[in-house]
Amino acid sequence: MKHLHRTGPAAALAVAASLALAACGGGSGFDDSSDPSTDGGGGGEAIQILIGSSGDAETQAVEEAVAAWSEESGTEATVQAATDLAQELSQGFTSNNPPDVFYVSTDALAGYAANGSLLAYGDQLANADDFYPTLVDAFTIDDQFYCAPKDFSTLGLVINTRLWKDAGLTDADVPTTWDELADVAETLTQGKVVGLTFGPEYQRVGSFFPQAGGSMVSEDGSEATVDSPENLEALDFVQQMMDDGVASYSSTLGAGWGGEAFGKELAAMTIEGNWIAGAMQNDFPDVDYTVAELPEGPAGPGTLAFTNCWGIAAQSGNQDDAVSLVEYLTQADQQLTFADAFGVIPSVQSAAESYAADRPEFQPFVAGAEYAQNPPAQEGAADVIADFNAQLEGLEGGDPQAILESVQQSMQAVVGQ
Amino acid sequence: MTTASIRRGQNRDGWLFVAPAMLLLAVFLAFPVLMALWVSVSDWRGVGSPFSGDVGFVGTDNYANILTGGSLQQRDFGTAMRNNVYYVLLVVPIQTAVALGLAVLVHTKALKGRGFFRTAFYFPSVTSAVAITVLWLFLFNSTGAVNAMLGWVGIDGPNWFGDARGIIHTALGAVGVDAPAALTDHRALGITWWEWLAGPSFAMSAFILLAVFTTSGTFMLLFIAALNNVGDEVEEAGMVDGANAWQRFWHLTLPMLRPTLFTVLTLGLIGTWQVFDQIYTGTQGGPAKTTLTPAYLSFQTSFNSQRWGEGAAIAFILFAIIVVLTLLQRWALREKS
C-alpha cells in the first residue's frame, strides 16, 4: 500500500504538468494561426523565404532579388537557405509556423497540396499566362494552378571537347541516334576514361524512356505505364552499353554525380542538365565542353524536364505580399538575372528569346523544353521513384524486366489511389 | 511527534524536490511519446496539431501498411529490418569482444604507457558521429586509403559506398551459387528469403566497421572499471590451482564480468537498433537501400514522404523490438543458481 501512496502524487503531478504544458503548447504552437484570411491583407509583417539552394551563387542571387523587392514594396523579407528543405518545411507546417514563401519540387507538390499546406495562388498572378504551359501543368492539380514555376531545366548530352578531338571525332560525329551514341561512346572509351556516364537514377536513365516512346504514367495520369516494351527496350539499351564497358554510372566511377565524373575527366560524355554549367565553372574551370541535344531513340527525341515552384503557405499571415513577391521574382528580367547567376532556364516565355540569343551554347537545353517529359508527380510517386532508383543501381547485371514489373506495381498503387 | 508523521513530511518534501525533474521528464519524454503513439494510430497529415478535430483514428492501419500487403512501404520496412539485423548481429559481438580485448590489454600491469593506450583507444568515441562519418566516406571511397592499402596486398577493393551487393551474395556468387527458386519465390516482410540472406552490403560493412571503431573505446572503459574490481587474489588463487592464463580468463575473470557484460551488450543492442546519424550524413540509405535502417526510414517516411502515421508506427515497432530483445538477453544472461 505504501508503495501506491508514493507513486500516487507523482503520477498526478506528471499528468497535471503534461496537461498544463500541452495546453499552453497548444496555445502558442498549434492553434495560433487564427484565420489567415483575416490578416492576409498586406499587414507589413516580415516575409520569411526558405529556399533549397544549389549553392552560394543561388542563395546570393535570391537574396539580392528579395532585397530589391523589399525596397520597392516596403515590406521586410528574409531569405534562408535550408540544409534539408523537406524536413524544415515539415517542421514549419506541423508547428503552424511555416515560412511564407519556399521552393516546392514537383514530387513534393501533391503531398503538400493534399494536406492543405499550400495556397493555390497561381491564377492570381498577373503574369500567369506567360509561363510555359507544360510547367503550369506540372504545378496544376485538379484544375488548381498551385504555384508559379520558378525556372526549369532539361537534360542534354555534355561532351568533353578535348577528349572528343583526341579520339579523332568532329562536329559531324555528334550522335543523333542510339546507335551513333553507342558508337561514339565506344570510340571515346580509352584507358581509364569511359565513354558515357550518368547518375544511377531514373532522373538520368529515364531520359531514354521517351526516346523509345515509353513513359512512367499514362497521359491522363490515371495508369502506370512503367512495365512497357518501350521502357524495356530503353533499359536493355542502357544495360548493353554498360555491359560493353562504354557507359558507367558515376557512382561506379567513384563520383557523386555525373558532373563530377565528367569534370574529373573520368568520362568523356555525361547526361546532365543545365545546372552543370555552374559546377563546371566553379569546380572544373579548365575542362572545355559542349552541349548537344540527347540523341533520338526509335520513337524520336526525348528528355526529362525538372522544375521547382515558389510555394506559398496556406497558413501564411501575409499572403498578399507573398504573391506580389513571387510575381516580382518570376518576371522576365528577374529570371534572366537568375539564369546568369546559377544557370537555370526562365520559366516565362517572354524571356525565352533574349535567353536563347545571349546563350547559344545552351540552345540544346532550351530545345529540349519542346518535347521534354515531366517526371511523375502523383502523391507518393516520390517514394516509387526512390525505389526505382534503388533498383536501377543494380541495373548492370540485373534483370530490367523484373525491375520494371516491380516498379509498375508500386506506381499503380500510387496512381490508383 | 510520531515517526509516521515525520516520515510523511519527508515524503512530501521528497516529492517537492524531485518535482522539477519529474516535470521535465513528463514534458519532454512522456508527453511526446504519448503524442507519437496517437500519431501512429491516426491519419494526421503533418499540418497543425495531431489532437485537432479533423484528425481521425484509423486503428492499426498504419501498422498494417508497414507489416502486410506487399506494398512499397512493406518492402522498404523489410529491407530496413534486414539491413539492421545484419548490423546488430555483427556490431554487437565484435564491439563487445574488441572492447573486452582492449580492456584486458591495457589492464595488464606489464604494459608500459597504459594511460596513452587507454586514451588512444577511447579517442574515437569522443569525436562527433558526423565528423567521423565524413572521414569514413573519404577512407572508403573507391579510390580512397582503404582500397589503396588493399591494393598493396594485391586485393582489388570494392567500391564500398557504391556497391549494393550483399557480402554473402558476393561470396556465394564467387563459388558459383545462384539464387535458388525455393528462396526467391517466398517472401517475408515483402522481400524474398534470398534477399534476406544477402548479408550486409559493402556500404553497410563499412558502417559496421565504423560502429566498432567508435564504440569499442567507450565499452573498454566499462570493462576496465570492472576488471579493477576483480581482485588480484582471484587471479592468484587460479594460479595456485594450476590454471593457465586462458583458463583463468575464461573460467574466473569472465564470469565475474557478467554484470558489465550485460550492460555492454544491452547498450550495444539499443544503440545498434537505433543507428541513424551515420546513415543520415553518409548514405541516406543508399546504395540501393542497403543502408536503410528502421530509424532512418521512420524519419524519411515522416518528413520526406509526409506519412506521419507510418513513420511513428515504425518508431514504435522499433521500440518493441528493442524491449523484447533486451528482455530476451536478460533472460539468457541471468545468474543460474
A410–B contact, CB cutoff 8 A: yes
First CA to last CA distance, chain A: 56
> How far is A118 from A44, CA to CA, in rounded Å?
21
pLDDT exceeds cutoff 70 at A21:
no
A44, A230, A313 from A38: Cα distances, Å:
14, 53, 15
* Average pLDDT of the segment spanning A344-351: 88
Cell numbers found for residue A185: 561512346
Nearest CA to B293 among B208, B233, B170, B173?
A: B208
Per-residue pLDDT tens digits for A236-278: 999 999 999 999 999 888 888 999 999 999 999 999 998 888 7
Between B109 and A205, name the one with better pLDDT.
A205
* Displacement of CA A404 from its chain's centroid (Å): 23
Cell of B109: 600491469
Residue B280 · residue B299 · CB < 8 Å: yes
Is B31 in contact with A93 (Cβ distance < 8 A)?
no
- pLDDT at position B89 is 95
Rounded CA-CA distance A330/A347 in Å is: 8
Instruction: Evaluate if residue A111 carries a pLDDT over 70.
Output: yes
Q: What is the pLDDT of residues B65-114, one digit of tens each?
A: 999 888 889 999 999 999 999 999 999 999 999 999 999 888 877 778 88
Assess A55–B contact: CB distance below 8 Å, yes or no. no
Q: Does A390 touch chain B (CB under 8 A)?
A: yes
pLDDT band at residue A403 under the 50/70/90 scheme: very high
Q: Which chain B residue is nearest to residue A87, measuring alpha carbons?
A: B303
Chain A CB contacts of B33 below 8 Å: none
Query: CA-CA distance, B254 to B333, in Å (whole number)?
Result: 13
Task: Kindly state the average pLDDT of the residues A315-325.
Answer: 91
DSSP state of A218: -
Pick from B120, B193, B201: which is nearest to B164 by CA? Answer: B201
The whole-angstrom distance between B142's CA and the closest CA on chain A is 6
Cβ contact (<8 Å) for B15 and A383?
Answer: no
Measured distance CA(A187)–CA(B275) in Å, rounded: 46
pLDDT > 60? residue A37: no
Q: Å from A395 to nearest chain B CA?
A: 10
What's the rounded mean pLDDT across residues A155-176?
A: 94
> Helices marked H in A223-374 — which ranges?
229-243, 258-263, 276-283, 319-329, 332-342, 352-358, 363-368
Q: State the nearest Cα–Cα gap between A90 and chain B, in angstroms.
A: 6
Q: How wide is the angle at C-alpha B315 spanned by C-alphas B212 and B308, nearest 5°?
A: 135
The label of the residue with cell 521528497 reads B14
Rounded CA gap, B259 and B261, in Å?
5
β-bridge pairing A267-273 and B187-188: unpaired
- Contact assignment for B306 to A94 by CB distance below 8 Å: no
Question: Dihedral angle at the C-alpha atoms of A277, A283, A285, A290, nearest 10 degrees?
Answer: -30
- B289 interfaces chain A, CB cutoff of 8 Å: yes
Side-chain-side CA neighbours of A95 within 13 Å: the count stands at 12
Q: Residue A17 pLDDT more than 50?
A: no
**Which of residues 168 through 187 in chain B touch A, CB cutoff 8 A?**
none
- Reported as a pLDDT band with limits 50, 70 and 90, residue A344 is confident
Is A7 a residue whose pLDDT tops 60?
A: no
Check whether A19 has a pLDDT greater than 60: no
Confidence of residue A116 (pLDDT cuts 50, 70, 90): confident
Q: What is the mean pLDDT of each run of 10 residues along chain B (337 residues)?
A: 66 89 92 93 86 86 89 92 95 95 85 83 86 90 88 87 85 84 83 89 93 92 90 83 86 88 92 93 87 94 89 95 92 77
Contact flag B302-A249 (C-beta cutoff 8 Å): no
Q: A399 in contact with B at a CB cutoff of 8 Å?
A: no
d(CA B207, CA A411): 32
A370 Cβ contact partners less than 8 Å away, ≥ 6 residues apart: none
A2, pLDDT greater than 50: no
Q: Please, which residues bridge with residue A194 across strands?
A: A267
Query: Are residues A150 and A347 in contact, defined by beta-carbon separation less than 8 angstroms?
Result: yes
Q: Return the pLDDT at A163.
A: 95
Quick check: B107 and B220 in contact, CB under 8 A? no
A–B CB contacts, 8 A cutoff, strictly below: 112
Mean pLDDT computed over A56-76: 91
Confirm if A238 and A247 have CB atoms less than 8 A apart: yes
> To the nearest 10°, the Cα dihedral for A398, A198, A185, B144?
-90
Of A21, A30, A84, the CB nearest to B49: A30
Of A5, A10, A90, the CB nearest to B303: A90
Type of residue numbered A347 = S
Q: How far apart are CA A204 and CA A385, in angstroms?
A: 12
pLDDT at A9: 41
Please check the confidence at residue A34 and state whether its pLDDT lies above 60: no
Chain-centre distance of CA B70, in angstroms?
Answer: 27
* A61 compared with B286, residue with greater pLDDT: A61
* Average pLDDT estimate for A383-405: 90
pLDDT of residue B5: 63
**Nearest-5° Cα angle at A305, A302 to A310:** 165
- Asked whether the beta carbons of residue B286 and residue A9 sit closer than 8 angstroms, the reply is no
- In the structure grid, which three cell numbers stand for residue A19, read together? 496537461
- Interhelix angle B258-273/B202-229, nearest 10 degrees: 150
- Asked casually if ipTM beats, i.e. exceeds, 0.95, the reply is no
Q: How far is A269 from chain B (nearest CA, A)?
A: 20
Residues of B in contact with A13 (CB under 8 A): 15, 19, 22-23, 26
Residue where the block lists cell 499546406:
A117
Set of cell numbers at residue B182: 525455393
pTM reported for the whole predicted model: 0.83
Strand B187-188 with B191-192, pairing: antiparallel
Give the residue among A107, A106, A307, A297 at the shortest CA–CA distance from A214: A297
Q: Does B268 touch chain A (CB under 8 A)?
A: no
Q: Classify residue B199 as left (phi > 0), alpha (psi -120 to 50) or beta.
A: left
| Separation of alpha carbons A120 and A104, rounded Å | 13
Report yes or no: A161 and A278 within 8 Å, Cβ to Cβ.
Answer: no
Q: Average pLDDT for residues A129-135, to the nearest whole number?
A: 87
The single residue listed with the C-alpha cell 520569411 is A48
Looking at the partner chain, which of B19, B25, B46 has a beta carbon nearest the beta carbon of A93? B46
Which three cell numbers mark B111? 604494459
Domains defined for chain A, CATH in brackets: 47-153+306-371 (3.40.190.10), 155-304+376-416 (3.40.190.10)
